[in-house]
Amino acid sequence: MDIKAVIEKVISDEEIIKLTQDLVRIPSCPQVEAYEKEIAEYIYQLFEKEGIEVSIKPILGERPNVIAKIPGSGEGKSLMLTGHMDTVPPYKMDIDPFGGEIIDGKLYGRGSVDMKGPLAAMIMTLIAFKRAKINLQGDLVFVGVINEEYRSEGTEDLVKNGPKTDAAIVGEPTNLQIATGHRGLEWLDIKIKGKAAHGGTADKGINAISKAAKFIRKVEEELLPKFKAREHPLIGPPTLNFGVIKGGTQPSSVADECSIQIDRRWTPLETLDQVFEDLEDIIKELQEEDRDFKAEIRRIESNMATMDHKPMEISLDHPLVSSLKRVTGRVINKTAAIVSFPGWTDASLISNFGGIDTVVLGPGDLANAHSEKEYIEVAQLFPAYSIYALTAVDFCGIIN
């Protein structure tokens, strides 16, 4: 049996495109009550119509995960395809955020690339096996999760309560490249204390904004150069970004408080303790140099639910990576690229806390996500589906 020919026959390019449009046209952002409820029900009904084992599990109120499965014989390795159903808000988009319009080969709309196009390719993968009556040796599972854009409660539930598989693919957009790792993510708030005074007698106060400037300079001059020595061979060096600074109440008053919010991306060559210790050392040095310098570090809790956002990596020799390399090369007719994903993903939770070896791979370019003209290249949708389906065959095995 020519499995590739069968897979390409049972699902059409047009079918995947239409499903992507349908998903884009269902808003699943914070402006909608119960964000993902409607899209989850749509996906559930689609699987049910195709005769596929499917369930909905409420996670936050009426916001549910969707879980579907093509059962295997139990003789092979199991594979999970997973992605998030929520999107960021439409903000001030230059297009209809829920139109799903196709122009010059690009399908536009909020969530088109992040990540309703990838979801459509994953959903169609399970449908293909059902329609073609291809019997796998290992289970093939789909999980659509909630709230990845904020606190990842959907994936935390997956990690705690299953389903459990031998390996997983998170479908974030990678331009069909195989992302075998990414940095961890920590958001930190540095609170710097000063002493208020009138602007006309500024020498009577302690300016927290000035102290914050000292902190920023020391981080840039002493900490950032150290990151070079911590560079990971695939993932690259750690990064630190000063994202928000707030201080003072009015121009004529000495600022008694200043807050600096930091985005810190860390590699597998670092530890979470080290992330904090780096900044605590800077604060100690400043306190020794300046007795008026007072600051404390606080983790921004809104960045996560209960699980640390650690780095993710998988061995380049892992069977799933080997399967993806073989399959992707066949589908795109060139050697598959191994890359690091530039952002943080739920793959971290699945691998670090769920113990499931995970890769990130999906259609589309991450640079288009969250943008005013978000789109996904239509030409990548069917190849993504083919990669997922053929990888399931290669990794899970089939019953002849």
**Residues labelled as active-site residues:** 86, 148
DSSP state of 69: E
Return the H-helix or E-strand segment holding 283.
helix 272-289
* Residue 114 contacts residue 90 (beta carbons within 8 Å): no
Q: Residue 315: which of 142, 135, 180, 127 has the closest Cα?
A: 180
* Residue 110 contacts residue 100 (beta carbons within 8 Å): no
* Residue 56 contacts residue 64 (beta carbons within 8 Å): yes
d(CA 150, CA 196): 35
Within a 10 A sphere around the Cβ of 93, how many other Cβ atoms? 17
Within a 10 A sphere around the Cβ of 336, how many other Cβ atoms? 20
Tokens of 121: 């390719």
Sign of CA pseudo-dihedral 300, 302, 305, 308: negative
DSSP state of 256: S
* Residue 81 contacts residue 142 (beta carbons within 8 Å): yes
338, amino acid identity:
I
First-to-last alpha carbon distance for the chain, in angstroms, is 9
Overall size of the chain counted in residues: 400
d(CA 75, CA 270): 38
Q: How many helices (H) and strands (E) does the chain have?
A: 10, 16
Strand partners, 266: 184
Strand partners, 7: none
Tokens of 28: 């699943």
